Amino acid sequence: MYIPEVEPINLALELKSGYHYGVFIDDTGSPGLITPGLHSQRKSWVAVLVPPHQTAEVMDQLPKALSFLRDRGIKDPEFHFTDIWAGRGEFCKLDLQQRLGIFRFMAHIFATHRFTVLVQTFDPDNATEVHSRANWPERFGPLNFRDHEDLALIFALLRVRIHLKSLDGGKATACVVIDEGRLSSGRAIVLPGLAPTFFGGAILFANSRLVYPIQLADFAAFVMNRSQLLRVKGSLSNLDKTFLEIISPISDNFINITSVPIQV
């Protein structure tokens, strides 16, 4: 079953209750970029899991952290890491060291709280291979099993659910929130079979200015994608090496992908 609208603030109250894990999901990829060893149409979905005892603190502290950007003239701040890295848009007001400082801050948050990160990637080729192995249904709510981008999201959600069932004797529950895009903010997929592991059987799509911890997933997604690109890059610049040094302490947070040493 699919319902058109869910009020994001209600889910925020549930997240602050301390009863549920917070699961925040964002997507990444490099569409059209020709890179040796990486499919140009690959699509990844990255899920950050925040334990129940940390969700209220994270939801309170992230808006306060954004005051750093307001103090530097950014009127409507949001930790959008592709723009921060590139110094694009309002982030042109920050110099390189200030922008790197934001990455160091977020890496410190991940290293301190040890958030679990799960990743799922598909491209058209390996999605076709997956379809050849089983008879999959046509749809998962509004998501299409035949679309490799939707398939990656479906499998990411399945990975999250399996992981949650391994926690707290199988009794862990989570509020699941995905960055808007695939569906507009406030819309949700509600499937009774996902309950009680997914609170209310719901998967909510929301704007990261309404549900701030989605910005954690934006960071994790950027880190994963850029790390992939650097792994196959022929020669690393000093800035590339600095980035790898910043994120190296959080490599173990990504529990279902293999860390690959890169000589810097």
How confident is the model over 63-87, as pLDDT tens digits?
888 887 888 778 777 899 999 999 9
What is the b/e burial string over 160-196, where b = at least 16 CB atoms within 10 angstroms of the residue's CB?
bbebbeebeeeebbbbbbbbbebbebbbbbbeeebee
What is the distance between the alpha carbons of residues 243 and 92, in angstroms, rounded to a whole number? 19
Name the more confident of 34 and 252. Answer: 252
Q: What is the pLDDT of residues 205-215, one digit of tens each?
A: 999 988 999 99
How many beta carbons lie within 10 A of that of residue 143, not counting itself? Answer: 18
Flag whether pLDDT at 164 surpasses 90: yes
Has residue 92 got a pLDDT over 70?
Answer: yes
What is the model's pLDDT at position 250? 96
Q: What single DSSP character describes residue 239?
A: H
DSSP 95-124: -HHHHHHHHHHHHHHHHHHT-EEEEEEE-H
Asked whether the whole model's pTM tops 0.85, one would answer yes
Q: What is the pLDDT of residue 133?
A: 87
pLDDT recorded at residue 114: 96
Interatomic CA distance for residues 178 and 160, integer angstroms: 12
Q: What is the pLDDT of residue 264?
A: 57
Record the tokens describing residue 91, joined without a space.
Answer: 């982030």
